[in-house]
Amino acid sequence: MQRSPLARIAGAAEENWNRRKREMKAKKRHIKHLKMILSDMIRARDYIMDEEHAICKRVKHATTTLHYTRPDGDVLYEVTKEYGSKLCRLFTAISSLRNLIESLEEDRKNKKG
């Protein structure tokens, strides 16, 4: 038995609506996961930036009195956390992820409204 054109249109509209609902649920789940990742990154940043923690690089020879020579002969020097190291990428990544989450949430609000 063939369905009427109106029934086919209604069926297609319902399928489209169900597909959109599944996509929105997946996106909501993904946003929640991204927020958890952002939270972990912020905790890592806060730990690294704590004034009681120093980030050091191991080198072969001391070139200034600011270097620390370990008993095993390795030489360490403190790396600036705020600039001039690869740690700067963490701050950029946090900012980029925060912007992405805001954009995705805005898109979801616009699709609902």
DSSP string, 3-46: PPHHHHHHHHHHHHHHHHHHHHHHHHHHHHHHHHHHHHHHHHHH
Domain assignment of residue 73, given as a range? 5-112
State how many domains the chain has: 1
**Structure confidence by residue, pLDDT tens digits, 21-69:** 777 676 888 899 999 999 999 999 999 899 998 888 888 777 777 788 8
Residue 40, pLDDT score: 95
In this predicted structure, the answer to whether residue 1 has a pLDDT above a threshold of 60 is: no
CA distance 65 to 57: 15
Mean pLDDT of the chain, nearest integer = 82
Instruction: Please name every residue paired with 59 in a beta bridge, in sequence order, or none if there are none.
Output: 75
* Residue with the two structure tokens 């992405």: 100
Residue pair 53/76 in contact by the 8 Å Cβ criterion: no
What distances in angstroms separate CA 31 from CA 4, 66, 98, 107, one per listed residue?
41, 45, 11, 11
